[in-house]
Structure 1
Amino acid sequence: SAVWAGGLYALGDRFAAPELSYRAAENLCEDFRARALGRIAGDLHRYRPVNKEHDHPAVRGAVCELRNGESVSSLTVRAQVDLHRKTDPAPEFDVPSLGLVAALGAGSTEAVQGLGERAVFFTTPGDGVVQLRVLDGGAVFTIEAYGTGTAQNTPTDTAVMQAAMVEDARALMAVLKE
Structure 2
Amino acid sequence: MSTPPQPSQPADQPAPQPQQPQQSAPEPAVPPQPTAYPYPHPQSPPAGGFYAQPAMVGGPVPGQPQPGNPYAQAPSFGPVPPAPRSGGRAGRAVLWAAVGAVVASAAWAAGVFALGGRSDHADLRGYTAPSNLCSGADYSSFKDEYTQDDSAPTRTSLKDKALDEGYCSLSLKKSGSSYADAYLTLQLDLHKKTDPGPEFTAGWKNYGESHSGYDVDRVEGIGDEAYLVSQDTVSGSSGGSRYATLAVRDGWVTYVMTYSLYLTSYAQDKNPPALTDIVTWLKTDTKATLRQLRD
TMscore range, shorter length: 0.7 to 0.9
| Deviation (angstroms), 1:76 | 0.5
- Which region of structure 1 is more displaced relative to structure 2, 104-113 or 6-15? 6-15
Per the alignment, residue 100 of structure 2 pairs with: none
2:275 is the counterpart of 1:158: yes
2:246 is the counterpart of 1:132: yes
Aligned-residue Cα RMSD (Å) equals 2.9
2:155 is the counterpart of 1:51: yes
Structure 1 vs Structure 2: percent identity of aligned residues? 20
2:219 is the counterpart of 1:112: yes
Q: Give the alignment of 1:35-74 within 5 angstroms.
A: 35-43=140-148, 45-69=149-173, 72-74=179-181
Please give the alpha-carbon distance, in whole angstroms, between the structure 2 residues aligned to 1:153 and 1:176.
36
Q: Give the alignment of 1:83-98 within 5 angstroms.
A: 83-94=190-201, 95-96=203-204
Per the alignment, residue 168 of structure 1 pairs with: 285
Gaps of 5+ in 1: none
Gaps of 5+ in 2: 1-61, 63-74, 76-105, 234-240
2:183 aligned to which of 76, 83, 92: 76
1:8 aligned to which of 111, 125, 144: 111
Higher RCO by CA contacts (8 Å cutoff, separation 6 or greater): 1
* Paired AA for residue 253 in structure 2: A
Conserved? CA contact 1:15–1:87, under 8 Å: no
1:25 aligned to which of 122, 130, 153: 130
Conserved? CA contact 1:58–1:86, under 8 Å: yes
What secondary structure is seen at the aligned counterpart in 2 of 1:93? helix
Conserved? CA contact 1:116–1:136, under 8 Å: yes
- Which region of structure 1 is more displaced relative to structure 2, 63-72 or 78-87? 63-72
Which structure is higher in strand share? Answer: 1
How high is the TM-score relative to the length of structure 2? 0.53
Conserved? CA contact 1:64–1:80, under 8 Å: yes
- Tell me the alpha carbon deviations over residues 52-75 of structure 1, each in whole angstroms, 9 at most, x when there is no partner: 112343221110111124862111
Tell me the number of residue pairs that the alignment of Structure 1 and Structure 2 aligns.
176
Note closer, same or farther for the CA distance 1:81–1:154 as it changes in structure 2 (3 Å cut). Answer: farther
* Paired AA for residue 93 in structure 1: F
2:139 is the counterpart of 1:34: yes
| Deviation (angstroms), 1:137 | 2.9
- Which region of structure 1 is more displaced relative to structure 2, 106-115 or 133-142? 106-115
